[in-house]
Structure 1
C-alpha cells in the first residue's frame, strides 16, 4: 500500500500544486464511509474526496444511487437477452437461407421475446435518464 501512496503522491505532484482548499462537513456516519473508502484505496480521506469530486466533475465517473444499481442490472440482463434473441434470428436466417422453413409459431415466439426485451430495456433506460435528470 505504501507504494501505491508514493505513486499517487508523485502523480499529483507532477500536476500544478493544489493551492485552493474547499471545506467539507460530514456527520459521523458519512465520515466513517469516507474513511472506509479512502482506506480501501490506501489514500488519505481528503485526497480521496478530492479525487472523487474531480472525477464526478469531469464526468469521468457518474454517480449511481443504490436504487439505480438494480436498474443497471436490468439493463445488463436485457442486453444479454437481446444478444440471445439476435442468435435466434441468425438461426432462423440460416434455416431460411438453406431452403428450410420456419413456422409462424417460431417467428411469433422470437417476436414476443424481442418485444419484451426491448420494453425492459426502454423502461430501464428511462429510469436511468430520470435519475440523471433529477440528480437522484
Structure 2
C-alpha cells in the first residue's frame, strides 16, 4: 500500500512495508464470525486483537461462550478457545504455541498440531466458492 500523505511511520510494519491490519476470526466451518480492518500496520496482530471489540467482549464474558465441557471419555472440562500464533497473549480462551526451541516432546507435538487448526482462517480467504 502507499501510505497516506504526512502519515510518517504509523503504517510502517515490522516487514519494512506500509500496511493496514485485517484481523479475522472464523469458526470451524469457514464462516467469518468477526472482522476488524483498518488499524495501521505499526500495531502488532496481538495489539490489534487486544484493542478490538471482540477481545473486549471476551474479557467481559459477553460473547455467550458455552461453559467448559469434558471431551468424550474424559473427565476434565475443557474451555472453548481461539487459536492464535506467537503474536497473541495467551489466556483462558486463547491458545498459542509454546515459545522457544528447547521444548519437551509433548510441547513439540502440541506446536506441530496447533498451526494445523489455524489453517481454517488462512483457508477462509483462499477457499473457492462451493
Q: TM-score, normalised by structure 2?
A: 0.29
The answer to which structure has the higher helix fraction is: 1
Which structure has more relative contact order (CA 8 Å, sep 6+)? It is 1
Bigger Rg over Cα: 1
* Higher percent of residues as strand: 2
